[in-house]
Amino acid sequence: MSYLKKKLEERLKDPKFRQEWEDSELEYVIARNIIHLRKKKHLTQIELAEALKTKQSVISRIENANQNLSIDTIKEIAKALDVNVMEIVRESPETYEIESK
């Protein structure tokens, strides 16, 4: 188990932290999946931004879970990454590989 996973497990024992984590978990799942899928396609943030007709800074905010995403935006990202929308919104153990690289 990675250091990050161990630390998270420890912090989740605190009920207040657990509630805050659960309230924001979807945003982080989406962010991790976008990072994972973008890297899997060998795209830079700039290249993904160009495909979405936006700026690299927007992609950075999305990948840091600092950007509220509409369903339409998630669909556009899925199309740009040539994946099904569900690959972006569902949790996948594969996405945790990012943390160890």
CA distance 43 to 6: 30
- Average confidence (pLDDT) over 30-42: 96
Q: What is the pLDDT of residues 70-98, one digit of tens each?
A: 999 999 999 999 999 999 999 876 665 54
Q: Please provide the average confidence, as pLDDT, over all residues in the chain.
A: 90
Q: Which of 22-26, 33-37, 64-68, 83-87 has the lowest mean pLDDT?
A: 22-26
Report the pLDDT value the prediction gives residue 21, as an integer from 0 to 100: 85
Domain membership of residue 87 as a residue range: 3-100
Q: How many domains does the chain have?
A: 1
- The domain that holds 16 is classified in CATH as 1.10.260.40
